[in-house]
Amino acid sequence: MRCVVTGGAGFVGSHLCERLLADGHEVVAIDNLITGSVANIAHLRDPRFDFFHHDVSKFIYLAGAVDFVFHLASPASPVDYLEYPIQTLKVGSLGTHNALGLAKEKGCGLLFASTSEVYGDPLVNPQPETYHGNVSTTGLRGCYDEAKRFGEALVMAYQRQHGIPTRIIRIFNTYGPRMRLRDGRVVPNFICQAVNGEDLTIYGDGQQTRSFCYVDDTVDGMVRLAWSQEALPVNIGNPDERTIRQFAEDILRLTGSRSQIVYQPMPTDNDPQQRRPDITKARTLLGWEPRVPFEEGMVRTIDDMRRRLRDEAAAGKGLS
Ligand code: NAD
Ligand code: UDP
């Protein structure tokens, strides 16, 4: 199959491109590099892989047949979408419209990368797909949350009005190699701080929870959902929930760091207090569940980030 991956030069997108190539497909990655990098796809030297530098909030023209569109383009880290709130709203709305238009033109299916943020600061834990969420339209996170909520509604409209086979994956916090070192998310922040001997910055009291899923597991869930018949949203994430304080201690232990933990004010409002996916639907419908245990995934991620930090330091000193 010839698959399009919007956001293909990003963290999750680059892993998806790798997986699709490994499964024998042709891949066209489309990305404007606003938060991604060609470094993420530089290793994909394969005649079946193409890269198209383009902003999908503008009309997408692509020659030739397309068999499936994976629409992942969007800033995803709170630091990124706070820096680019308008671009985030545009890619969730206009970008999703264009991606759906491409799928309609090519007569193929589309998977939309949605997020656990559609649940906002949830009042039920864990969150099943049937929960409608608790989102502030005017809060700082609103640009991302509402863009994804609108994206989901648009996808459902295309499915109902035009009969496009669409899939919606609600991704929960995903981590792994190739996350940008300074994207501001808690995983790269704590690992870089621990490795560099800097203080680990907990925002708020550290009692808020997150559930971290290794990227290979997320991508596997995405591929299974794409090839399934499920037309309604499916949560993909790891139910292994922990507080941010516990996570800071885990990172200190796994890196062997002697850094201190410090507390800072929350940089955004509406920071979800708890987040844990209910994955009953993914288990039942897709036979999917996360396979990579927390420590194994974190050690792989720490090794990758240590190496990149060393390379950066060496480049800074003119050594490479
Ligand atoms: P990322 O920032 O690494 O990747 C996003 C990619 O989209 C980047 O390469 C960026 O340059 C590209 N992009 C953004 N706007 C674009 C535009 N207008 N046109 C073309 N390309 C554009 O983020 P990620 O973590 O890889 O997230 C990928 C997708 O998964 C996003 O849609 C995100 O909302 C979703 N998601 C991720 C997580 C997570 O924990 N990583 C959780 C929930 C949802
Ligand atoms: N966080 C933190 N210190 C940091 C970065 C993030 O305490 O240096 C907290 C953040 O406030 C949130 C959680 O860690 O409660 C996860 O943040 P992240 O930015 O990774 O993503 P989110 O799940 O909020 O989208």
The answer, yes or no, to whether any atom of ligand 2 lies below 6 A from the CB of 118, is: no
Q: Which ligand is nearest to the CA of 88?
A: 1
Judge whether 131 counts as a catalytic residue. Answer: no
Walk me through the domains of the chain, giving residue ranges and CATH numbers: 2-178+212-239+276-292 (3.40.50.720)
Residue-level pLDDT at 320? 43
Identified catalytic residue from 81, 84, 119, 144: 144
Residue-level pLDDT at 319? 55
Residue-level pLDDT at 267? 84
Those residues of the chain that have pLDDT short of 50 are 320
The answer, yes or no, to whether any atom of ligand 1 lies below 6 A from the CB of 12, is: yes
For the CA of 193, the nearest atom of ligand 2 = 8
Across the strands, what pairs with 127? 277
Q: Which ligand is nearest to the CA of 211?
A: 2
Which strands form 109-115's sheet, in the order they lie side by side?
A: 49-53, 26-31, 2-6, 68-71, 109-115, 166-171, 234-236
pLDDT tens, position by position, 105-139:
999 999 999 999 999 999 999 999 999 999 999 99
Residue-level pLDDT at 270? 87
Residue-level pLDDT at 268? 80
Give pTM, 2 decimals.
0.98
Q: How far is the CA of 318 from the centre of ligand 1 (A)?
A: 32
Burial of 303 by CB count in 10 Å (0-12 exposed, 13-18 middle, 19+ buried)?
A: exposed
Q: How far is the CA of 280 from the centre of ligand 2 (A)?
A: 26
pLDDT tens, position by position, 152-186:
999 999 999 999 999 999 999 999 999 999 999 99
The answer, yes or no, to whether any atom of ligand 2 lies below 6 A from the CB of 173, is: yes
Residue-level pLDDT at 318? 61
